[in-house]
């Protein structure tokens, strides 16, 4: 079997931001219209074939610093969450909540500061199940807060677990999703319930954070994204999760190679060429 044709095309992070729904593009435009090719999560449009949807997606198949990853806790940089300045504006009357066709996301203002750099919040969105794993373990869901500073992107990710007896529900995230059944299709939008982020800001201060240089987890998979994955999960109730899963269904990219190692698709190409 011959290898797939690969075109070497570089794409700027400024363009990549559009794929993550930053304010460089109209907020009501779905990800499917910003991405390079009509990507999806099933069959030929799934993550295994994103590189074939557009020449701009080449890095999805050859990049060595792709996301998401399985975070081996003894192999990744760990920092104290208290070193982050995580400040999200409260929305007592709710914020815009959009179904992009590939995920559901909330548009909110705020900032994050770490390593001496301050980033502005563009939006936060959800994946089911989680894209990252921590110590081999996946979670029912994951939320990505996407920040930008010029052409640089940073993501702060929180693992979402289902609340059991005695677990404290994280209300900022739970209320973000409270109206998810009202946006069942791409392009649907509604105003969330009132959002106050103090509990989430407190959570990151009390947790370790894993850091690595990764990529967008959707096409064009541009690298150089500063990923910050909070070690301790947050909790939502089972009903909220089920409603979210019913709308989002499945939207997680498969686990990538460890940073710096050969891309899994590139490795598969090499093996298949020998058959």
pLDDT tens per residue across span 191-232: 999 999 999 999 999 999 999 999 999 999 999 999 999 999
With a cut of 50, say whether residue 169 has pLDDT above it.
yes
Task: Give the pLDDT band (50/70/90) at residue 38.
Answer: confident
* Helices of type H across the chain: 13-19, 31-34, 59-62, 171-176, 198-205, 238-248, 264-273
Q: Within 79-187, where are the H helices? A: 171-176
Question: Phi, psi at residue 203, to the nearest 5°?
Answer: -60, -45
CATH for 13-273 is 3.10.200.10
Distance separating the N- and C-terminal Cα atoms of the chain? 7
Question: Is the C-alpha dihedral spanning 202, 180, 157, 33 positive or negative?
Answer: negative
Q: Kindly give, in sequence order, each residue whose CB lies less than 8 Å from that of residue 117, ignoring residues fewer than 6 positions away.
A: 149, 152
């Amino acid at each position: 079997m011959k290898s797939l044709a690969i075109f070497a095309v570089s794409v700027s992070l400024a363009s990549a931001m559009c794929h993550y729904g930053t304010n460089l593009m109209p907020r009501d435009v779905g990800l499917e219209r910003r991405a390079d090719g009509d990507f999806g999560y099933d069959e030929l449009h799934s993550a295994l074939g994103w590189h074939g949807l557009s020449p701009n997606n080449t890095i999805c198949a050859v990049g060595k610093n792709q996301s998401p990853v399985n975070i081996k806790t003894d192999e990744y940089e760990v920092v104290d969450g208290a070193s982050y300045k995580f400040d999200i504006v409260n929305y007592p009357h709710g914020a815009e909540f959009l179904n992009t066709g590939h995920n559901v996301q909330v548009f909110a203002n705020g900032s994050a500061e770490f390593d001496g750099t301050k980033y502005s919040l563009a939006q936060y969105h959800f994946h089911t199940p989680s894209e990252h794993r921590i110590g081999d373990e996946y979670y029912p869901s994951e939320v990505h807060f996407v920040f930008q500073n010029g052409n640089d992107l940073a993501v702060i990710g929180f693992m979402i677990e289902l609340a059991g007896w005695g677990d404290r529900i994280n209300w900022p995230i739970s209320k973000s999703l409270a109206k998810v059944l009202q946006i069942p299709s791409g392009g649907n939008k509604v105003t969330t319930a009132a959002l106050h982020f103090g509990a989430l800001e407190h959570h990151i201060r009390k947790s370790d954070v894993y850091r690595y240089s990764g990529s967008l987890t959707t096409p064009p998979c541009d690298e150089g994204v500063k990923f910050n994955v909070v070690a301790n999960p947050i909790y939502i109730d089972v009903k909220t999760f089920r409603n979210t899963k019913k709308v989002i269904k499945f939207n997680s990219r498969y686990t990538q190679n460890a940073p710096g190692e050969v891309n899994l698709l590139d490795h598969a190409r090499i093996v298949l060429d020998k058959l």
